[in-house]
Amino acid sequence: MALRKSMLVARADLRMAMKVKMVKYGLVMMTAMAPIMLIGLVLLLALSAPAVVVTMITMLDPMMSPVIGIMVIVPASMISANALVGEKEQNTLEALLCTPLTNRELLIGKVLSSFIPTIALLLGSVLVTEIATNIILTSVGAEVILFPGVSSLFLLLVAGPILVAAVISVMVLISGRVKRVYEAYQSSGATVMIFLIPLVLPMMSMNNGGIVDMNLVWMSNIITLLIASVLAIVTWTLAIRRFNRDRIVSM
Amino acid sequence: MTESRKKSRGNGNHTGLSITGSVMHRCKCTRFSKLFLVMTSQRRIKKTWFRKVVKLDEVIIKDLTKRFGDLTAVDHLELNVPAGSIYGLLGPNGAGKSTTIRLLCTLLNPSEGTASVGGFDIIESPVRVREITGVMPEESNHTLYAAMSTYDNLEYFGKLYGVPEAEIPGRIEELLSFMGLWERRDDPAGELSTGNRQRLALCRALLHRPKVVLMDEPTSALDPIAAKKVRELIIGLAEKYKQTFFINSHNLAEVQRMCDRIAIIDKGRILLSGKTKELRAKLQATQNFTIRVNDDLERALDIARSMEFVTSAEEEVDSIRVTIEDPISNNSTLMRSLLSKGVEIIEFAEQEATLEDLYLDVIKGGVM
């Protein structure tokens, strides 16, 4: 029942957001940048050095694939920044707060309205990159590989969603404590920068000789996962505890 | 403590249970009544049928206070709204009307005191309060999802309020048809006129058939015909379903037509409350007259003011307005005095006592 009501809020928010063309196309364009960049890189390597393309891609994978996660987090933070303060600016918040939604149901709904499209775009980006990469590789006679590779897939599909949830939670928290949407957007910039740090950890795993230490990659992935989990738990707890209808309405 | 607050505290509601009218009197001072009061403490009585049978108050405000920093918007408010009544809260801007509604619908937390709505405490059971309450917020025509269609707005809120999904289409059609919006059901709410948006907001507040409807200026953006329709709807709902309406309004004429009880609030305090009929009856003890005279307004004013039974005399554009105690025996005395002192009277007209007179009296400090 609780999740059903949260899903109602999420669905309504999404429908409203998708009716704004700037949001819809901006979201897709922002997310499409990473796959375009990665596919372009694969194409460039395949055309310039077809014999070593697989080796090069495997080497670059831990550094390049996290870009997909980074590019997805930015729009996620933008949508969630709008969650409560956006409703307040449109004067729809009071009517929503007068419904029997509990704080938890409302916040879950607001988080889901950003989380669902973000994860859909993340999965779509990964899938498009994998398919396009292998089409290019097979066309130059190279073997079929996973790009993003297994370690990157772990980072993107396990740690990624948790990190996205953490970013969205903190943005919803901020959204309930600012007066204007632009204030929330300004805060989202700083928040994203902080939350991106775990995603760039795997980029540090290449040594001076250009050799990727896979042990280091996996270790950084595990650290990223742990950091993401802690951030998600802390930010969600904060979002729930600090949610105050009185404060939101009185501001 | 003001006179009105003393009165409200001393009206038999200090027991924590507020039973209106005859039930209270019948039960008073008997062992049975004491047992009854203990057994049926306000928190326990949540069954609608029981509340209606014994006419329990649907909204009970006890010592409710809300401060915003140094500003006290609502100051130790005490108010009881009987089930099935239409209660009007009147007051000037900044009197605390909207804050009271926001406290009752649990948007704001009280700084002190509490209130119960339909038997549920606003602090202890805010979700239950919201379930049984329909709210029409201030400027409610702006509170709709502009990009959603008229129908979708109602469907969304119907689901959020837990209306059974099978019943939602029927209820939406019934309400939209009544409000004359059925033909516009697929139009985005943002494309509706201000009045139509106000009607839609009213539909939204009534869709889940709430026990208590809290309305902040419900007809402010409506044309006279639509406003009349809404007033009739409110009166009809209160009679048919025993829904309780708590209405903030500046529109005194509207309150007079619609509300069976009123309270006048200023600076967060109730100055006067009671049944509309009784308050109007009190007004009959004095009577206002408009006296048009030929050129000699100031002289007429002086004569009127010199009379003991004239409680107030004011100059208007081409006449004087006097308030007379015991008008049946005194109006002729005033007329004779004016004529005997050479004042030529063109018109000596009686004014019907309205709530506006009462309201202005109370706000100016002349509490009856």
Predicted confidence (pLDDT) at residue B298 exceeds the cutoff of 70: yes
**Edge-first strand listing for the sheet containing B286-293:** B310-315, B319-325, B286-293, B345-351
| Residue A40 located in a structural domain | no
Instruction: Tell me what the pLDDT averaged over chain A comes to.
Output: 87
Yes or no, beta carbons of B130 and A91 under 8 Å apart: no
One domain for residues B289 and B274: no
**Chain A residue with Cα closest to B143:** A92
- Whole-number Å distance between alpha carbons of B102 and A245: 11
Q: Which residue has the tokens 């599909």?
A: A157
- Whole-number Å distance between alpha carbons of B194 and A111: 32
Q: Considering CB atoms only, which of B108, B143, B162 is closest to A92?
A: B143
**Chain A residue with Cα closest to B204:** A95
One domain for residues B305 and B270: no
Q: Considering CB atoms only, which of A16, A95, A100 is closest to B131?
A: A100
At B359-368, the pLDDT tens digits run 776 766 654 4
Do the Cβ atoms of A122 and A68 come closer than 8 Å?
yes
**Domains held by chain A: number:** 1
Yes or no, beta carbons of A5 and B160 under 8 Å apart: yes
Least trusted range by pLDDT, from A204-213, B3-12, B221-230: B3-12
Report the pLDDT averaged over residues A159-185. 89
For testing the chain A interface, which of B159, B200, B217, B246 should be mutated: the one with the most A CBs within 10 Å? B159
DSSP B96: S
**What is the DSSP pairing of strand B319-325 with strand B310-315?**
antiparallel
Report the pLDDT averaged over residues B121-131. 94
Q: What is the dihedral of CA A245, A246, A249, A250, to 10 degrees?
A: -160
CB-based contact, B197 to chain A, within 8 Å = no
Q: Considering CB atoms only, which of B102, B147, B159 is closest to A16?
A: B147
- Please identify, among B278, B293, B314, the residue that sits at the C-terminal boundary of a domain: B278
Q: How confident is the model at residue A107 (pLDDT cuts 50, 70, 90)?
A: very high
- Whole-number Å distance between alpha carbons of A34 and A42: 12
Share of chain B above pLDDT 70, in %: 79
For testing the chain B interface, which of A3, A6, A23, A99 should be mutated: the one with the most B CBs within 10 Å? A99
Helix, strand or coil, per DSSP, at residue B98: helix
- Whole-number Å distance between alpha carbons of B55 and B32: 18
Report the pLDDT averaged over residues A218-247. 90
Yes or no, beta carbons of A95 and B137 under 8 Å apart: yes
Residue B260 identity (one-letter amino acid)? D
**Can you give the pLDDT at residue B195?**
85
Angle of helix A181-200 relative to helix A66-81, nearest 10 degrees, comes to 160
Q: How confident is the model at residue B181 (pLDDT cuts 50, 70, 90)?
A: very high
More confident of the two residues B142 and B131:
B131
- Whole-number Å distance between alpha carbons of B117 and B106: 10
**Can you give the pLDDT at residue B110?**
95
Do the Cβ atoms of A145 and A137 come closer than 8 Å?
yes
Instruction: Tell me what the pLDDT averaged over chain B comes to.
Output: 80
One domain for residues B274 and B292: no
Highest mean pLDDT among A112-121, B24-33, B225-234: A112-121
> Which domain CATH number covers B86?
3.40.50.300
Yes or no, beta carbons of A98 and B130 under 8 Å apart: yes
* Per-residue tokens: B65: 């206070």
CB-based contact, B108 to chain A, within 8 Å = yes
**Can you give the pLDDT at residue B242?**
81
CB-based contact, B71 to chain A, within 8 Å = no
Report the pLDDT averaged over residues B152-166. 95
Do the Cβ atoms of B205 and B158 come closer than 8 Å?
no
Query: Which residue range forms the structural domain that includes residue A94?
Result: 2-35+53-250
Q: How confident is the model at residue B108 (pLDDT cuts 50, 70, 90)?
A: very high
Yes or no, beta carbons of A246 and B107 under 8 Å apart: yes
Q: Considering CB atoms only, which of B130, B142, B145 is closest to A100?
A: B130
**Domains held by chain B: number:** 2
One domain for residues B274 and B289: no
Rounded to a whole number, what is the largest CA-CA distance in chain A?
66
**Can you give the pLDDT at residue B49?**
52
Report the pLDDT averaged over residues B31-41. 44
| Residue A58 located in a structural domain | yes
At B317-336, the pLDDT tens digits run 788 888 888 777 788 888 88
What number of C-beta contacts closer than 8 Å exist between A and B?
Answer: 70
Yes or no, beta carbons of A245 and B107 under 8 Å apart: yes
Yes or no, beta carbons of A99 and B102 under 8 Å apart: no
**Can you give the pLDDT at residue B157?**
96
| ipTM, two decimals | 0.86
Highest mean pLDDT among A235-244, B40-49, B218-227, B251-260: A235-244
| Residue A45 located in a structural domain | no
Q: Considering CB atoms only, which of A19, A91, A99 is closest to B142?
A: A91
Yes or no, beta carbons of A98 and B204 under 8 Å apart: no
**Can you give the pLDDT at residue B6?**
37
**Can you give the pLDDT at residue B365?**
61
Helix, strand or coil, per DSSP, at residue B83: coil
One domain for residues B317 and B230: no
For testing the chain A interface, which of B67, B101, B145, B200 should be mutated: the one with the most A CBs within 10 Å? B145
One domain for residues B73 and B181: yes
Report the pLDDT averaged over residues B280-292. 73
Query: Which residue range forms the structural domain that includes residue B292?
Result: 285-352
One domain for residues B167 and B140: yes
Per CB-CB distance under 8 Å, the chain B contacts of A9 are 160
- Whole-number Å distance between alpha carbons of A152 and A154: 5
Q: Where are the alpha helices (DSSP H) in A65-180?
A: 66-81, 83-89, 93-97, 103-139, 150-154, 160-175
> Which domain CATH number covers B335?
3.30.70.100
At B38-97, the pLDDT tens digits run 444 444 444 555 555 555 678 999 999 999 989 999 999 999 999 889 999 988 888 899
Yes or no, beta carbons of B157 and A99 under 8 Å apart: yes
- Please identify, among B278, B311, B335, the residue that sits at the C-terminal boundary of a domain: B278
DSSP conformation letters of B176-200: HHHTT-GGGTTSBGGGS-HHHHHHH
More confident of the two residues B311 and A226:
A226
How many C-beta atoms lie closer than 10 Å to residue B146's C-beta? 17
Give first-to-last CA distance, chain B, whole Å.
16
Beta bridge partners of B67: B72
Predicted confidence (pLDDT) at residue A125 exceeds the cutoff of 60: yes
- Whole-number Å distance between alpha carbons of A171 and B333: 76
Length in residues, chain A:
251
Yes or no, beta carbons of B143 and A95 under 8 Å apart: yes
Q: How confident is the model at residue B30 (pLDDT cuts 50, 70, 90)?
A: very low
One domain for residues B222 and B262: yes
Least trusted range by pLDDT, from A86-95, A160-169, B290-299: B290-299
Q: How confident is the model at residue B125 (pLDDT cuts 50, 70, 90)?
A: very high
Predicted confidence (pLDDT) at residue B211 exceeds the cutoff of 70: yes
**Can you give the pLDDT at residue B282?**
66
Yes or no, beta carbons of B130 and A5 under 8 Å apart: no
Report the pLDDT averaged over residues B282-301. 77
Predicted confidence (pLDDT) at residue B9 exceeds the cutoff of 70: no
One domain for residues B274 and B296: no
pTM, rounded to two decimals: 0.77
B42-71 burial, b at 16+ Cβ within 10 Å, e below that, comes to beebeebeebeebbbbbbbbbebbbeeeee
More confident of the two residues B367 and B201:
B201
| Residue A192 located in a structural domain | yes
Q: How confident is the model at residue A124 (pLDDT cuts 50, 70, 90)?
A: very high
Report the pLDDT averaged over residues A92-117. 93
| Residue A41 located in a structural domain | no
